[in-house]
Structure 1
Amino acid sequence: MNLPQNVATKPSALASPVVELRQYTLKPGRRDTLIDIFDGRLIEGQEDTGMTIIGQFRDLDRPDMFVWMRGFDSMDARKNALAAFYGGPVWAAHRDAANATMIDSDDVLLLKPAWPGAGFDLAGAQRPSLAGDEKPILNRLLTGIVVIEIHHLQPGTEADFTTRFEIETACLMTADARLLAAFVTEPAENSFPRLPVRADENVFISVMGFASTEAHARHKAALAASPAWQDFWRAAQPGRTKPTETLRLSPTSQSLVGIYS
C-alpha cells in the first residue's frame, strides 16, 4: 500500500531497548518556542544518527516543563549516536536557540523495558513530514493524553513489583486505559557522561494512553474502587522510597507516541 506523500513513516519494530525519559525545566513562557525548534529542526538530525525520537509532550500540570523520550538500540549505540548528534551540524546550528529556552535539562532517567515486549510498539506510527521551512503546527493538540507514572523503589524490590504489575494489573485495565509501555532503570554506566542521568534512581515506569483527561479521571476512580488494585498497592508500599510521580502529558504534533499509538 502506498502511503500519502505528506506522511513520514517509522520502523515497525518494537522501539528501543534503551530509553531516556527527559524532563526539561524551561524559562517562563518559552515552551512553545522550544517545541517549535525541536519538532521543526531537531528530530530528523537525531534520527539520522540512529536514535528514535519516541515522543515529546507538554506537561498539562507544569506549564514550563517539556517532557520527551528517545530510544537507542544499545548503550554503545547511544554513545555513538549522541556523540554524532551533539558534535554535528544540526545541533551546532540550533543549540543556542534551544538552550536559551532552558533552565535545567539534567532531569533524565535511563531505562530499559520492564519485561520482554514492554517497550513501545511503533508499528504504523507516523508523523506528518515537514517540507522545507514549514513549521510544526503548535496549536494542533492531539485529542489524547499520555500519563507516565514513576514509581520509586528500594533496590532489590523492582523484580517483584514488575512481576506483580505485569500479571495483576492486566485484569484491572479499564476501557478508558491503554498500557503503551513499561520500563525499569537501566543499571549500566552512563555511556555519554557529557549528558548526566539520575544514576542513583531505582524506578518502575508505566506509560498509558487515554482519550482525554476525563477518561484518565474515570480510570483513576475505577482503580480506587477496586479491591484488587487496593491489594496490589498495599503490597507495594514497603518497597517504595518516595511518592509516585504522575506526569499528565499532551503530545506535540510531531510526537510518535500518543493515544493513536
Structure 2
Amino acid sequence: MIHELRRYAMRPGRRDTLISLFEREFIEAQEATGMRVTGSFREVGEPDTFPWLRSFPDMGTRKAALESFYGGPVWQANRDAANATMLDSDDVLLLRPAGPEFPSRERPPVGAPIPSSLYVVTTYHVDGDDFAQLFHREAVPALADAGVVPVACLETEHAENTFPRLPVRAGVQVFVWFARFETPEEEREVDLTMLERRFTAPPERLRLRPTSRSTLR
C-alpha cells in the first residue's frame, strides 16, 4: 500500500467548513477512483489545520486515481469552495508500510457521532532505511509494557511522485507510527530514548480527534 499523510494549513476559522464539504462531497468521489480515504481529523490545539490520510494499492493506481478525481466533475464543481478555505496544502508525506497497517472498517454515514478516541501520530526524522527494525526490536516492547500498541507504522516511500500537480515533501527519511487511545484522558507518552541516536531532527507529534466519517475511530 501507498499512503499519503496530508496536513493542510487552513484560513482562520475555516477548518470545519472544509470538513463539512469534504465529508459530504469528496470521500465517495475519491474512493470511486480506487483510493481509500483512511482517516480525517481535527488536530488538538491547532484549530487551523486539517490532517487526513488516504491510501492506494500501489503507485500506478495512485497516479490513475488522482488524475481521475482531480480531473473529474466533483472536484471541478467544488474546488473553488475547498481552495478558499486553505492557505497551504503541500505538507504531505508519501509513505509505505513498515509494520502493522490500518484496520479496515466500514465508513459511518454523514451526520454520524464524532468518536471519543484520540490518535497520536509520531513522526521521526531518521538516518538510514533500517530504522523500522530498531523500532520494532527496542521500542515496541517498551510501548507494550506501558499498554501502548502501535496501530500502524509507516516509512518514507521514495518512488517518484508521478502526480506532481500535488507536491509531496522531498528529501526526507521518516518513520511514522500511530497510537490510539479510547479517550484523550487515557493518552500517555512513553520515553523511547533508545531511538534518539538515530534522529536527524526533533520528533513531530500530532494529537488527532477523528471526524464523524473517519474510518479510523
TM-score scaled to structure 2, two decimals? 0.94
**Match status 1:143 vs 2:123:** no
2-structure distance, mates of 1:241, 1:89: 43
Q: Map 1:1-261; keep pairs closer than 5 Å.
A: 17-115=1-99, 118-122=100-104, 125-130=105-110, 136=111, 140-154=113-127, 156=128, 158-159=129-130, 161-172=131-142, 173=144, 176-216=147-187, 219-220=188-189, 223-224=190-191, 229=192, 233-234=193-194, 236-258=195-217
Deviations 1:79-111 (A, max 9, x none): 000000000001011111111100000000000
What letter matches 1:238 in structure 2? R
Superposition deviation, residue 249 in structure 1: 0.2
1-structure distance, mates of 2:20, 2:28: 14
Q: CA RMSD in A?
A: 1.5
1-structure distance, mates of 2:201, 2:183: 28
Q: Give structure 1 stretches of 5+ with no counterpart.
A: 1-16, 131-135
1-structure distance, mates of 2:9, 2:176: 20
Q: How many residues get paired?
A: 216
Specify the structure having the higher radius of gyration (Cα): 1
| Contact 2:140/2:149 (8 A) holds in 1 | no
Superposition deviation, residue 51 in structure 1: 0.4
What letter matches 1:207 in structure 2? F
1-structure distance, mates of 2:149, 2:213: 20
TM-score scaled to structure 1, two decimals? 0.79
- SS of 2:201's partner is strand
Q: Residues 84, 150 of structure 1: CA spacing in aligned structure 2 closer, same or farther, 3 A cutoff?
A: same
Structure 2 counterpart of 1:6: none
Identify which range, 182-191 or 172-181, moves more after superposition: 172-181
Superposition deviation, residue 175 in structure 1: 6.3
1-structure distance, mates of 2:71, 2:161: 18
Structure 2 counterpart of 1:14: none
2-structure distance, mates of 1:67, 1:177: 22
- SS of 2:203's partner is strand
Among the aligned pairs, what percent are the same residue?
Answer: 45
| Contact 2:108/2:215 (8 A) holds in 1 | no
Q: Give structure 2 stretches of 5+ with no counterpart.
A: none
